Amino acid sequence: MKSEWRFLARITRQILRHRLDRLIPAGALRHRSARLALAGLQRLLPEPGASRGESLRQAFVDLGPVYIKLGQLLSTRRDLLPADIADALADLQDRVPPIPDFAVEQFVTQQLDVPAADVFAELQPQPLASASIAQVHAARLHSGEEVVVKLVRPGIAPRIREDMALLKILADHITRMVPDAIRLQLPRVCEDHERVLLNELDMFSESRNQIQLRRNFADSEMLYVPRVYAEYTRPQMFVMERVYGTPVSHVEELRRYGVDMKVLAHKGVETFFTQVFEHNFFHADMHPGNILIDTTRPEDPRYIALDCAIIGTLTEADQNYLAQNLLAFFHRDYRRVVSLHLQSGWVPADTDAEEFERVIRDVCEPIFAKPLAEISFGEFVLTLFQTAGQFNMEIQPQLVLLQKTLLYIEGVGRQLYPQLDLWETAQPFMEAWAARHMGPAAVVSEWVNAGPEVWQQLSRLPHTLMRSENELRLLKSHLHRQHQSITRIEESFARQDRRRRFKQVAGILLVVAAGWMLWQPLAEGLADGDVTMLAGVISALLGSALLVRA
Report the distance separating Cα 366 and Cα 349, nearest Å: 28
- Report in angstroms the alpha-carbon separations of 499 from 62, 317, 487, 513, 549: 79, 60, 18, 21, 14
- Active-site annotation holds for 94: no
Between strands 311-312 and 282-283, the pairing is: antiparallel
Report the distance separating Cα 291 and Cα 308, nearest Å: 11
Q: 333: how many CB neighbours lie within 10 A of its CB?
A: 15
CB 89 within 8 A of CB 98: no
Report the distance separating Cα 220 and Cα 55, nearest Å: 42
Residue 189, classed as helix, strand or coil, is helix
CB 26 within 8 A of CB 38: yes
Q: Is the dihedral of CA 488, 491, 496, 499 positive or negative?
A: negative
Report the distance separating Cα 443 and Cα 546, nearest Å: 76
Active-site residue, selected from the candidate residues 163, 285, 294, 307: 285
- Spacing of C-alpha 276 from chain mean position: 16
- Report in angstroms the alpha-carbon separations of 431 from 155, 322, 413, 426: 48, 13, 22, 9
| Range list of H helices, 113-155 | 116-119
Between strands 146-152 and 223-224, the pairing is: unpaired
Residue 25, classed as helix, strand or coil, is coil
Report the distance separating Cα 337 and Cα 327, nearest Å: 9
| Range list of H helices, 76-155 | 83-89, 104-112, 116-119
Amino acid at 107: F
Q: Which of 374, 393, 396, 375 is nearest to 384 (CA)?
A: 393
Which of the residues are catalytic?
285
